[in-house]
Every structure is written in C-alpha cells, then in structure tokens.
C-alpha cells in the first residue's frame, strides 16, 4: 500500500516535500494508482483480446516467479518461501497454461515479444531444470527470437555456476543481481538471504559465463545504514564495474516486516534514514560512478556505456507498449487496458487450471491518462523528448501540462530546451514525490496497492 501519493496534496503550486520516512510506497511505477483498478473492468479487458492488435505497438512479456529463500524485512511483494518442487512445477505449468490461453486470442496472433523480463520474487530460485522447463515452454508458445532484451533477476546466494550457465543458455541478455548492499551486518539485519561473499562469487561466475550485460541493484538507506557503510558499498560496486547499476531509495510499505514492527512499537517514523539523507546517498553514488565514466540515465540508474546498454523493457513500459504479464499478482497492459492477476497462489492456479484468465482487476486507460502516464514515467528518465508526444497525442506536453510544469519551474526543478523537457539532478532524485503534481485530482488520494 502506498503513501507515495500523499494523502492530501497541497495542489500544483507547491511541490510536496518529504522528510522522515513514514510507512507507505514511494515509488510511482504506473498510473493511475492500483486502487482505481476494478474487477468490474475485467470483462472489458477479456473482450478486447478477441480483436486483432495494432501491430505497430511493440509487445513485451513479463513472467513472475514468486519464490524466495527468505522474506526480506522490507519486502512488500507477494512471495512464497515454503513451496516444494512439486508446487513449483505446478506453478510453472500454470504459467504456461495462462500463456497458452493468451496466445490463442486474436489480440496476440502473429505477435512476438520484443523484450522479456523474468522478475519476482526470485527467478533464480528455480533449478536449472525448472528454468529450462519454463523457458522451453514459453518459446514453444510465444517464440522470442525477435526479442532484443531478455532480463533475468537473480539473488546472489542462489546462483551456482551450473545455474548461471542454464540462465545464459536460454538466451538471457541481462542478468540483474539483487545485491542491495555489501555489508554482511546490514544484509542480515534487513533479512536478506545472501551475504557479500556470495555476491562476489556470483558476479565472477556471471562474468565468466559471459552474460552480455550484468546489472547490480543497490538500496540506499536500509536499516542501520551509515554514511561510512554506504560509501564502502558504493566503492565495492564501482570496483565490480557492472554494465549498469540500479539504486533504489528505501521505502517501508505497510505490508513489510519493518512496518509490522513499527506498528507493534507504536512508531510512525520508520527506522531508516530520512528522504534527504537517502537522496544525498544516491547522489553520492551517482557521482562516484560518473567519476569512472558512467552516465545517469534515470532516477535510479547509471550505465557504463549508454551506446551499448539499453533498457528496452523500461522504455517499452514508459511509452505505452503492450505488456503481456503472466504469473501470480503480475501487472500487465494490453490494448490500452491495465490488468493485474490474482494476488494469491491458490486462486491463481485454480483459475488457470479451470481454463479462465486469472485476472483480479483491470482499468481501461483513457487517452488523456495515457498521455499523463507516459509523460510522467518518462520524466523519471530525467529528460523527455516532446515530438513523439505531439505525434501520438496531438498536443505539446508543455501546453497540456502547463500548470504542473510551471510549479516545477518555480521550484527550480525544471530544465528544458527546444523539443525537450527535463529535471535537475536534485529533482530527479525526488521525482516520485513530484509526480503526483501531474495526477488528476481524483487520483491523488488513491493508493498504489
């Protein structure tokens, strides 16, 4: 659940300022917030699948693997740490069954994904045999020979040499390592399953195996983070020279172990650094990576070689591509309609096994909200080219969003030029707290849950 959208916004004249870290989601990953997605819209979603697609719209595929070795204390995802091999096998069968139902629909006929993302959970929790079973099954239903990017998330402690080879052999182009931190005490106190020794081992294996790209995820502001430990973590990440690094600012959503403890102790402020400190830590990391030649390409990302490292999945998502999403609790977007699958394992598997699409809620996105969604999400990249928006929506973003853009300008957050609109570094580091300025008034109190 979310407080990334403050309960009441001061209006587009004054950007909200966040100080202490209180409970709730902070990250704006979609629009409108999930609280507005409804089960009543599911039949409409199902009906649009019965007509052919516009083949100009690129297709992506997201596959959700909800298993983890252990639940991190900051985790707000639906994950399972108790499933045995038979249950995992049943889940893989259900995912393939779900995909089969989609590819039989006119909307998916003749289409192939341009980008694929295996996320979780922990996709690397699967054994090499399970990985092959899943990916062979997907390829048989939806050939992915046109895909330019296939990303697979991995938890370092699950990545043996054998497993990394299996992941590489199925065609993965980017291995995304959930490192989060290099200090073993921080990893332990935050409930992570791996330790730093496993990170170095997995990273060396991954390089040896020869993935085209390796991404490292870090989190600034985990419980008991200090200035010194963060600097050490950044230095270690810089030493590895990954192709890209994604750095999140710690948030404490309601359905996390940390929040439950806060509640039990009657605390309103989370036991993590305040937002200003977290922004400073990410800024420090960005600067250290820039010193060795990396480029900041979004509010969370630095890349070593922007000419080589692209993020097709993110770009597709941010520019209105179709995203066929399979697996429990996954979020997708097809034919201009958002949808989300059932949250829980049992209803998800049961729906699929009884021949139904396992959809829990949906939201048809009107054109003005698609404009808003894509513009806001692209602002997270720091710079938006305006011509594609004029071509697609028939209006200049500077005119359509004049009021919130003026609010950003008067707060000193905006930079722009002919044909583009961007954010200063300071604004980019707090973009999730600024984006609600663009929300329709009726969406400002909705939760991302």
Residues contributing to the site for ligand SF4 (CB under 6 A): 68, 71-72, 75, 77, 79, 120-122, 155, 178
CB of 259 to ligand SF4, least distance (A): 14
What minimum distance in Å lies between the beta carbon of 202 and ligand SF4?
Answer: 14
Secondary structure element (H or E) that encloses residue 324, with its range: strand 322-326
Give whichever of 155 and 432 is closer to ligand SF4, judged by the CB atom: 155
Nearest to 362 by CA among 400, 403, 330, 407: 330
Question: Residue 387 — φ and ψ, nearest 5°?
Answer: -55, -45
| C-beta closer to ligand SF4: residue 327 or 446 | 327
In the bound state, the residue with its beta carbon closest to ligand SF4 is 75
Q: Rank residues 121 and 242 by Cβ distance to ligand SF4 and give the closer one.
A: 121
DSSP 268: S
Smallest separation, CB 302 to ligand SF4 (Å): 21
Rounded (5°) CA angle 199-205-207:
100
> In the complex, what is the shortest distance from the CB of residue 131 to ligand SF4, in angstroms, rounded to a whole number?
17
Q: Which is nearer to ligand SF4, 300 or 378 (CB)?
A: 300
Please say which residue, 149 or 251, places its beta carbon nearer to ligand SF4. 251
Torsion from C-alpha of 47, 50, 54, 57, nearest 10 degrees:
70
CA 132 – CA 350 distance, rounded (Å): 24
- Given the complex with ligand SF4, which of 71 and 370 has the nearer CB atom? 71
Smallest separation (angstroms) from ligand SF4 to the CB of 284: 23
Q: Which stretches of 102-251 are assigned E, i.e. beta strand?
A: 115-120, 149-154, 174-180, 213-220, 244-249
Nearer to ligand SF4, 70 or 105 (CB): 70
d(CA 381, CA 174): 20
Helix (H) or strand (E) holding 52: none
Q: Smallest distance, Å, CB 72 to ligand SF4? A: 3
- Give least dist CB 178 to ligand SF4, A: 6
| 225: nearest Cα among 190, 175, 179 | 190
319: burial class by Cβ within 10 Å (0-12, 13-18, 19+)? middle
């Amino acid at each position: 659940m979310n407080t990334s959208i403050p309960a009441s916004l001061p209006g587009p004249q004054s950007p909200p300022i966040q100080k202490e870290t209180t409970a709730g989601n902070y990250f704006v990953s979609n629009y409108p917030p999930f609280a507005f997605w409804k089960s009543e819209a599911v039949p409409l979603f199902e009906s649009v699948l019965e007509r052919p697609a516009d083949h100009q719209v690129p297709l992506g595929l997201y596959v959700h693997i909800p298993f983890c070795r252990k639940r991190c204390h900051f985790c707000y995802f639906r994950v399972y740490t108790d499933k045995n091999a038979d249950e995992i096998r049943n889940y893989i069968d259900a995912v393939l069954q779900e995909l089969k139902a989609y590819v039989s629909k006119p909307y998916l006929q003749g289409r192939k994904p341009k980008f694929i993302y295996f996320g979780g959970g922990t996709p690397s929790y699967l054994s090499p045999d399970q990985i092959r079973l899943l990916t062979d099954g997907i390829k048989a239903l939806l050939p992915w020979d046109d895909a330019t990017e296939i990303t697979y998330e991995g938890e370092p402690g699950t990545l043996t040499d054998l497993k990394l080879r299996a992941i590489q052999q199925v065609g993965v182009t980017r291995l995304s390592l959930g490192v989060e931190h290099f200090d073993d005490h921080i990893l332990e106190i935050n409930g992570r399953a791996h330790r730093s020794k496993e990170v170095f081992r997995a990273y060396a294996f991954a390089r040896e195996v020869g993935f085209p790209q390796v991404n490292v995820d870090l989190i600034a502001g985990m419980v008991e983070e200090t200035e010194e430990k963060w600097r050490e973590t950044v230095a270690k990440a810089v030493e590895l020279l990954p192709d890209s690094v994604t750095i999140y600012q710690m948030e404490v959503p309601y359905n996390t172990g940390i929040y439950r403890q806060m509640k039990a102790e009657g605390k309103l402020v989370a036991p993590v650094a305040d937002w200003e400190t977290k922004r400073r830590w990410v800024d420090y990391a960005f600067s250290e990576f820039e010193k060795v030649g990396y480029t900041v390409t979004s509010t969370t990302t630095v890349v070593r070689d922007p000419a080589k490292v692209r993020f097709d999945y993110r770009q597709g998502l941010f520019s209105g591509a179709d995203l066929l999403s399979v697996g429990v609790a996954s979020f997708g977007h097809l034919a201009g309609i958002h949808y989300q699958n059932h949250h829980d394992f049992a209803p998800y598997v049961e729906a699929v096994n009884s021949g139904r699409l396992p959809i829990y809620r949906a939201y048809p996105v009107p054109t003005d909200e698609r404009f808003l969604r894509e513009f806001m999400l692209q602002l997270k990249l720091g710079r938006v080219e305006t011509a594609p928006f004029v071509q697609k929506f028939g209006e200049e973003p500077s005119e359509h969003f004049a009021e919130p853009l003026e609010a950003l300008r008067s707060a000193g957050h905006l930079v722009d030029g002919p044909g583009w609109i961007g954010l200063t570094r300071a604004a980019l580091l707090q973009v999730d707290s600024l984006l609600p300025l663009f929300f329709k008034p009726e969406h400002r109190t909705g939760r991302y849950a």
